[in-house]
Amino acid sequence: MYLEKVKLWNFRKYGKRGEIVLDEPHLELNLNKGVNVLIGENDSGKTAIIDAIKLVLKTHSFEWIRPEEDDFFSGAEKMRIELYFDDMEEQAYHFNEWLSYREEDGKLYPTLKLVYEVSSKNGRIIPSDICAGDNGLEKQLKSEAKEYLKTTYLKPLRDASSDLTPKQNSRLSQILKTHDAFQNKDGDHLFLSLLKSLMQIYLTILKAKIIMTMI
> How do residues 72-95 score in pLDDT, each as one tens digit?
999 899 999 999 999 999 999 999
What does the pLDDT read at residue 15?
A: 94
Higher pLDDT pick, 107 / 174: 107
List all residues 6 or more positions away from 58 whose beta carbon is below 8 Å from its beta carbon.
Answer: 65, 146, 149, 150, 151
Angle at 139 between CA 136 and CA 144, to 5 degrees: 150
> How do residues 171-207 score in pLDDT, each as one tens digit?
666 666 666 666 665 556 676 677 778 888 888 887 7
What does the pLDDT read at residue 136?
A: 83
Assign 139 a pLDDT band (cuts: 50, 70, 90): very high
Cα–Cα dist 150/43, whole Å? 26
CATH at 119? 3.40.50.300
Cα–Cα dist 113/110, whole Å? 10
In-domain check, residue 100: yes
Higher pLDDT pick, 138 / 194: 138
Residues 110 and 47 in one domain: yes
**Domain around 96:** 2-156
> How do residues 2-58 score in pLDDT, each as one tens digit?
999 999 999 999 999 888 999 999 999 999 999 999 998 988 899 999 999 999 998
Total count of domains within the chain: 2
In-domain check, residue 169: no
Lowest-confidence segment of 50-54, 142-146, 155-159, 206-210 by average pLDDT: 155-159
Residues 69 and 144 in one domain: yes
Cα–Cα dist 58/192, whole Å? 31
Residues 22 and 113 in one domain: yes
Residues 17 and 108 in one domain: yes
The pTM for the full model equals 0.73
Burial label, 5 (beta-carbon count in 10 A; 0-12, 13-18, 19+):
middle
Residues 132 and 207 in one domain: no
Higher pLDDT pick, 160 / 99: 99
Residues 75 and 120 in one domain: yes
Kindly tell me if the per-residue pLDDT of 135 is higher than 60: yes
Cα–Cα dist 86/95, whole Å? 12
Closest CA to 177 of 189, 187, 193, 188: 189
What does the pLDDT read at residue 166?
A: 63
